[in-house]
């Protein structure tokens, strides 16, 4: 939990107010916030414009999503066939443990303890 990010989202002055609250007051604040959050969620569900916009978004994006699914399925199936044939790799060679089929060779791993020792020697 990054407290700085949480504080940035708080209403102005809330952090200072909360710092002066005792445990019971903080617990009551949690309950008020949970109640408010539930109310907001119910209002969102009841908002006809928002529901309509979601449905419109689904309708407009469905063709794109289907096309993406079909292309992803082609990739997955082609990889499956290559793997079954023992041909999964880059070019005509199999991918070894230090190489990725898409991005190519991975950088060498450095042992942190060795890196510290070599930087001290320099």
* DSSP of 40-108: HHHHHHH-HHHHHHHHHHHHHHHHHHHHHHHHHHHHHHHHHHHHHHT--EETTEE--TTEETTTEEPPP
Looking at every residue in the chain, the average pLDDT score rounds to: 84
pLDDT tens, position by position, 90-116: 655 555 555 555 555 555 554 544 444
Looking at per-residue pLDDT, the higher value among 116 and 36 belongs to 36
Please answer whether residues 112 and 101 qualify as being in contact, where contact means their C-beta atoms are separated by less than 8 angstroms. no
User: pLDDT tens digits for 51-83?
Assistant: 999 999 999 999 999 999 999 999 999 999 999
Report the C-alpha gap between 70 and 61 in whole angstroms.
14
Can you give the pLDDT at residue 102?
Answer: 53
Specify the pTM: 0.49
């Amino acid at each position: 939990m990054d407290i700085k990010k949480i504080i940035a989202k708080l209403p102005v002055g809330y952090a200072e107010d909360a710092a002066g609250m005792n445990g019971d007051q903080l617990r009551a604040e949690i309950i008020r916030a949970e109640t408010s959050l539930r109310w907001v969620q119910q209002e969102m569900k009841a908002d006809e414009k928002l529901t309509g916009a979601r449905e419109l978004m689904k309708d407009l994006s469905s063709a794109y999503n289907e096309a993406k699914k079909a292309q992803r399925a082609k990739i997955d199936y082609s990889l499956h066939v290559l793997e079954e044939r023992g041909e999964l790799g880059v070019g005509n060679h199999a991918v070894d443990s230090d190489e990725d089929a898409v991005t190519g060779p991975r950088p060498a791993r450095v042992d942190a303890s060795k890196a510290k020792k070599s930087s001290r020697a320099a």
